[in-house]
Structure 1
Amino acid sequence: MVRLILILLGVDFLRSHWRGLRRFGAFTLLAGTVIFIDALDGVLYFPIEPFALLLLIEGGATLLVAGSGIGGQKRLRYVKGAAFVISALLILAGNHEGDLVLSLLFGTLFLADGALQIASAIVVRYPNWRLALVGGVVEVLIAVFFYQPWPTHYQGVVPYCLGLGLAFTGWNLILLARRAKRAKRNPAMDDPAAQAGIPGAPLITQWEGPPAADEPALTVHVWTPAGTAAGGARQRPVISRYIAAVDEQGVISTGHAALASPEGVYISLYPAQEIDRSPDEFGRLLRATKENNVAGRFLSDYASEAAQWCPSTRQVRIRNYSPARLERFWRRYRQDNTYNLTHRNCSSSVAKGLEAALEGCVGRLWQRKGFWIAFGKLMTTPELWVALQIRKRGQTMAWTPGLVLDYARALSMLADPRPTGWINTARRALTRIWRRRKGMRVVS
């Protein structure tokens, strides 16, 4: 969380407000701790019913306007709205069964995430895997806490979750303030072009949709594993989407990812010699250790890569980025041509390049509104939390083309924000209806 927020808001933008950020983090940590402890004795002082009503109103309103979203934003609104409504109804039910279902739901989520993190740490052995292993164990212990009825017989599940969420968020904000205070000056902010982003962008804070086909934009190209399997991929939806696809002959296809900018930067990393991806060798190659490092090669441009292989199956385009920052990253990154299937591959290269290009993009976009408006906009955007989870998976497992695709889509909603919030969405919908009716009257 700390690293991604630092990237999106920018070092300079955060440094000037690190004291206020630290105070807010301390208050949030204290509030979360108090709410969690309050729930332990079985006597709840936290206003659970009003909180559930707020969830129900927000979830219902989100579902009503979800259809006006665009692409991934629409799906995310439906998921958010449904989750809020179901949780609110279970809380308002006010019986043991509702509390039990919520406890089992949250416990299962923590258990699945912790078990996945433990397994990936043991198998992949990426840098700092032991720390991630400890984090996975902590998540499993939290799951056990939710599963067992002590001490409140499941009645405190909502305050537990809210308290844990606030406490972890507050702790991360304190760490963010500490890093912002000590971080070096962001060199990208020295460049006027980097501060302004793309010409014409600073005066705009929201766009109605993705960039037009003829509009200059940073482009993430993704060749999905299923779309590039030579002999037709076997039907394994989640595995084929995020890990690898297996064709009828048993050959594994992991897909590919690349990043292209209108200024001529093209990041596309391949192994210099094709890696044996047969099932017998694939397990050994999953280790992110030095013995699996091989020589790599960077391709020159998208047109030649598409001509030699095939066009990318998915593209994500972003307007608001820093060409200077991306160029600076690319000059440094291409000096090392090492390739590692799980630690330094095509997808991890694109993810790092994308983060470099978007450094400070949210801060530049909302700086005229003030720090707390910019910070609030970022923290209340659902795509931030989606991007955080995807980034966690990419760092604790391995970056894959499927993860990069979802990560780029989430970051595109932060860098090129679409109108959000059900009040604003409803107001825009009513405005469109009024304009259409007015136009119909003029025609008649």
Structure 2
Amino acid sequence: MERYETPDLRVTLYKNGTSIRDIANEKVKDEDQDEPKREDVDDPFYLYDLGDVVTKDKLWAKLLPNVEVFFAVKSNPDPVIIRLLIGLGKSFDCASKKEIKMVLDLGASADRIIFAHPYKQESHLRFAKEKGVRLMTFDTAEELQKVKRVHPKAQLVLRIRYDDSTATFKYGSKFGCRGEEVRPLLEIAKKLGLDVVGISFHVGSESSNPQIFRDAIRFTRPLFDIGTSLGFNMKLLDLGGGFPGRLYPKATFDKFADVITRALDEHFPASSGVRIIAEPGTFHTRSAGYLVANVIAKRVNKVDINERRERVSDGDEPFIWIYYLNVGVFSGLNGKLFDPEYFDLPEPLHEPLRNRDLKPSTIFGPTCDSNDVIMANCMLPELDTGEFVLFHDMGGYTATCACDFNGFSLPPTWYIAPKEIRLVLEKTFPAQ
């Protein structure tokens, strides 16, 4: 396959119509791959499709043209992804000194960053001041005192609590003030001489309810009026994250965009002068990521009759096929610890799932930890030791949350892109 290479990037370019399975199979058998380095030919690896990121960004611009993107760096701090998004004109949601430094070092300007952590380590806040990062969130009086002491010229955004009950990951127990706390907090900010410029919320990640954005936007409207009555120039609304990013989401992005557009038109029309931003993360990157792993061992256990009554229906196999992969919950699949449906079943790399008979199966990761369970009591085709499998939706909160526990190294990343975005790559990653 054709490649685009610079000192900072090596991308395999594929033709329109080429499948990810075809590309992954080429990577598995291509012995000439030397960057990034895999120690052994059966080691796992990530594939990031940069074209998918570009496609998602175009979709956002089409459906939410008046909502500025501040990409949530925590979801995928891959430097190639960050540089691509900088080239696409995006801004960034950073939660720490390290994230701020990385984004700045990769070429973003300080005015394209929101320090979107309500509770900031003082040295991190001091770093933000030194680098000119002013926009940041808060939700307590104590944080206001800290900002007054360390970064009094900050532009503050009050984070409120507005959880979606359908979201897999809810944040209200940790972040955000309640409605009745808004006026007292704004009054304290006024007394301290601080500059509050807007309101933010986060409905939660993996939301399946687009209407929650309508409700949250409507809830914030009178809060802006409170701020204005106290003399603040309330000019920014931050919609947070929670936008669907997987290949087959429960609710599609166009449904979210439609609800948000209608709510903004009603409560924050263009004539209001309020700047609208959001902090998507997995929306831009989750479906761009793939993980290729190897079956390093297998065994077949006979299921105890009492256990079988609970796990396998009458007429099914009295056995369970158990597989061990060279990746697990510590090396990128940690989402399974919080949500059993966070990832779909892996597919055999050399042929689709539908082409083989399914067996009751459990998949373990490679570590010695008994909690390293990728999939329990699922239906898979019989796999062979040494066979490769492909995971989808691996571009968000995967590698960023991984570690090398038990000595199993983190999988390296290869970048791929359709030939159609070569001009985008040349502009963002110019050859020297």
Q: TM-score, normalised by structure 2?
A: 0.23
Higher helix share: 1
